[in-house]
Structure 1
Amino acid sequence: MKRIRPSYPIAVAGVVLGVGGLSTLTLWSQAGSPTWDLDVVIAALSLAAALTQLWWPAQGALAATLLAVLSPVATPAATMGALQVALRRRLPVAAAMAAAGVAAHVVQGLWRPNSGISQQWWLLLICASYGALLGWGALARSRRALLFSLHERAERAEAEQGRRIAEARMAERRRLASEMHDVLAHRLSLVATHAGALEYRPDSSPEQLARAAGVVRTGVHQALEELRQVIGLLREQDEQQDELEPQPTLADLPGLIADAREAGQEVRLREEVTDDGALPHAASRTVYRVVQEGLTNARKHAPGRPVDVLLRGTPGMPLLIEVRNPLAPAGTAPLTPGSGLGLVGLTERVRLAGGQLDHHHADGEFRLAARLPWPA
């Protein structure tokens, strides 16, 4: 366990005031006794032993215990030493120090008996005091060890969560890179085909040449858009590539909504999109994924609650995708457990598309909103 180091200026002041004050009171009560001069010397030595306990608790406590054999003025330093050892050392060492303290005070009581209490009650009081100090110190040490363990577990859990998030982001980037690779290859092959037609058929009519040039221009524009996303990805080359199925787009959104409704989910779609055919293909895929994730989260965490889906945008203005659903009643467990990484991957996807994703709770609702650029 991590050793606790006290704040030394405050601790020194506390020892001087506490131990010094109690020793002074004991010394004052011994005024006039034949051993008063010895008690003064022992009081000074016991204060030094108490200060030593701040750095070396076992050695300082042992010195104070030995002084307690000679005079009661060392009792405050000895009992404080027993507590310090119980707080900062293992239980066997603390128990041995407590036993030594009891033995020292038994000898003190035999040599210099207390006239105000019988020997039996004196022994009982000493045993009870050292037992209480030992239990107090052991309990405090165990509690400190538990708090330290919980703190370490929290740090490990936070580090593990950070690692899982990083892995989810990397997996999403690799998947997107593989997807973009295939799409980009398709775009460039089309461009190469039409460019080859322009090169080898110079005798084509102006209309055919213009049509082929337009296809090349559109293909290059779309390829550059795909390439911009690929460049931002950290992609590791896999030895075996899985065959990718065609990715759904905005045109497949009605099918997604229909499937959700057939599963019993109440979905209200409001679409305010003009000329959705002009939406870039990458943004169209991202729209589908945002709505899909929103519906999935609603089914998991708010089953039976209606979901509102809003699509609003026009070329030249940002495209807004918003999914809202009322929160489930407090204490409702999700239908299926989730890792919480779906939104992490979605955030990465939206960011790579040049947009922003936000999700939060507000006014009793969960809101998932994304904004994507839509070139004019």
Structure 2
Amino acid sequence: MDLCGRHITLITILVGVCSVATGYGEYASGSLVALDIAIGIIACALVPLLFRWPVATALVLAVLAAISPTATPPSTIGTLQVSSRQPFPAALGVAVFGIAAHAVRFAWHPLPGLSFAWWMVLVVITHLGLLGWGALAQARRQVIASLRERAERAEAEQGRRILEARAAERTRIAREMHDVLAHRLSLLATYAGALEYRPDLAPEKLSQAAGVIRSGVHQALDELRDVITVLRDKSSPENTDRPVPVLDDLPTLVEESRAVGTPVDVNGDVTEVPGATSRTAYRVLQEALTNARKHAPGQPVKIDINGNPGRNLIIEVTNPLCHADTPTFPGTGTGLIGLTERVRLAGGKLDHEVTAREFRLHALLPWPT
């Protein structure tokens, strides 16, 4: 309970009423009335100090209440202020001190028609009420502060989740863009490189290469459009117009690589691989062939696929390293990083290593029944 102007006004009125009652009492003389008024003024002047030194000020007000009844209203406010702001032991000590002070005052300044026992009953009940009121106000304030802190923490947590969701979405977009476009653009770069290094090709060969490049650009744009559609629409990929490539599309992927001069040998034959595992396996092989064309153009690629339902699907891709004088395409290495994360999210594991003679990529994917 914070003190404000209306509380001070109320205290002043109560002090005046107590002073008048004291002045008209049969036990009061003129000197005592003057003393009561002076103590009431001093008590009112001490009330603002409750904000800075609540316990000490409340004890001083209790001492003044032991001398004059005009200090009782400020002392009551002091007890309430301590009860609502300070720990319970301090509030209990101030309340006990206030009860003792009022007992002392009654001993030398009794009220006519009221016994000491009833006076103490009223004083104890009043101070217990002040303790309960203050404790209730303090508990309510703590609950409000706790709820406010919880709301602020929830808001901060929500903000963090939004940032994490945005980062995850950007990563997903980047991974899909890389998986879809890197393969297609590497094919185009291979054809464009052939045109650059072989300007003496026959016109029909040049026309054929240009046609392949034009067709590849259109396919890349279509695939990019499909990726953006899937990323904007959270529905299943199977609901798009163009089917998402799976392991059954491996022959087409292999033919595209062979068409640009990359010999590909596939060993193993697996069927009925589930959709999620099949899509991830396709992305692994697509990235492996893309890297082979970029970093070892013209070198043969060997693909081994085997596995059984209920166990694992094992993919291993190897290709010799290119010669130092062979032109290659620059890379950042983020493709394998993203592919490793994709395989991990699918519950599998992907490793890659470079030996003295070849590059080897090994993927292990779960194959549920």
Question: Under TM normalisation by the shorter chain, which class is it?
Answer: 0.5 to 0.7
CA 1:293–1:61: 2 relative to 1, 3 Å: farther
| CA deviation after TM superposition for structure 1 residue 56, in Å | 2.0
- AA of the residue aligned to 1:128: I
State the Cα deviation string for residues 108-138 of structure 1 (Å, max 9, x = none). 1111111142222111111101000100100
Please say which structure displays the higher CA radius of gyration: 2
- More displaced stretch, 118-127 vs 79-88: 118-127
Question: Which of 7, 23, 29 in structure 1 is aligned with 2:15?
Answer: 23
Specify every segment of 5 or more residues in structure 1 that has no aligned partner in the other structure, as ranges. 224-278, 296-308, 312-376
Alpha-carbon distance between aligned partners in 2 of 1:294 and 1:310, rounded to the nearest angstrom: 8
CA contact (8 A) 2:103 2:120 kept: yes
Question: Which residue is 1:213 aligned to?
Answer: 210
Identity of aligned residues (%): 46
| CA deviation after TM superposition for structure 1 residue 203, in Å | 4.6
| Moved segments of 4+, more than 4 Å | 203-208, 217-223, 289-292
- AA of the residue aligned to 2:52: W
Aligned counterparts, 1:89-108, within 5 A? 89-108=86-105
Question: Which residue is 1:326 aligned to?
Answer: none
| CA deviation after TM superposition for structure 1 residue 185, in Å | 2.6
Question: Which residue is 2:258 aligned to?
Answer: none
Alpha-carbon distance between aligned partners in 2 of 1:215 and 1:59, rounded to the nearest angstrom: 92
Structure-1-length-normalised TM-score: 0.56
Aligned counterparts, 1:68-83, within 5 A? 68-83=65-80
CA contact (8 A) 1:50 1:77 kept: yes
Alpha-carbon distance between aligned partners in 1 of 2:185 and 2:164, rounded to the nearest angstrom: 31
The question of 1:144 aligning with 2:141 is answered yes
- More displaced stretch, 138-147 vs 197-206: 197-206
CA contact (8 A) 1:49 1:61 kept: no
Alpha-carbon distance between aligned partners in 2 of 1:40 and 1:101, rounded to the nearest angstrom: 20
Alpha-carbon distance between aligned partners in 1 of 2:181 and 2:69, rounded to the nearest angstrom: 90
State the Cα deviation string for residues 219-270 of structure 1 (Å, max 9, x = none). 56877xxxxxxxxxxxxxxxxxxxxxxxxxxxxxxxxxxxxxxxxxxxxxxx
Alpha-carbon distance between aligned partners in 1 of 2:235 and 2:166, rounded to the nearest angstrom: 16
- AA of the residue aligned to 2:37: V
3-state DSSP of counterpart to 1:113: coil
CA contact (8 A) 2:195 2:206 kept: yes
CA contact (8 A) 2:181 2:224 kept: no
CA contact (8 A) 1:60 1:81 kept: yes
Question: Which of 118, 122, 125 in structure 2 is aligned with 1:125?
Answer: 122
CA contact (8 A) 2:230 2:240 kept: no
Question: Which residue is 1:112 aligned to?
Answer: 109
| CA deviation after TM superposition for structure 1 residue 16, in Å | 2.6
3-state DSSP of counterpart to 1:53: helix
Question: Which residue is 2:187 aligned to?
Answer: 190
Question: Which residue is 1:84 aligned to?
Answer: 81
State the Cα deviation string for residues 146-203 of structure 1 (Å, max 9, x = none). 2211221222222222222222222232233233233333233212222133234445
Aligned counterparts, 1:158-237, within 5 A? 158-204=155-201, 206=203, 208-216=205-213, 219=216
Aligned counterparts, 1:1-376, within 5 A? 6=2, 11-31=3-23, 33-34=28-29, 35-204=32-201, 206=203, 208-216=205-213, 219=216, 280-293=222-235
Alpha-carbon distance between aligned partners in 2 of 1:48 and 1:22, rounded to the nearest angstrom: 14
Alpha-carbon distance between aligned partners in 1 of 2:180 and 2:231, rounded to the nearest angstrom: 17
- AA of the residue aligned to 2:170: R
3-state DSSP of counterpart to 1:97: helix
Alpha-carbon distance between aligned partners in 1 of 2:123 and 2:137, rounded to the nearest angstrom: 21
- AA of the residue aligned to 1:293: S
Alpha-carbon distance between aligned partners in 2 of 1:192 and 1:294, rounded to the nearest angstrom: 32
What is the total number of aligned residue pairs between the two structures?
236
Alpha-carbon distance between aligned partners in 2 of 1:294 and 1:136, rounded to the nearest angstrom: 60
Alpha-carbon distance between aligned partners in 2 of 1:126 and 1:294, rounded to the nearest angstrom: 75
Alpha-carbon distance between aligned partners in 1 of 2:222 and 2:230, rounded to the nearest angstrom: 13
Specify every segment of 5 or more residues in structure 2 that has no aligned partner in the other structure, as ranges. 242-369
| RMSD of equivalent CA atoms | 2.9
CA contact (8 A) 1:15 1:50 kept: no
3-state DSSP of counterpart to 1:30: helix
3-state DSSP of counterpart to 1:117: coil
Alpha-carbon distance between aligned partners in 2 of 1:173 and 1:49, rounded to the nearest angstrom: 64
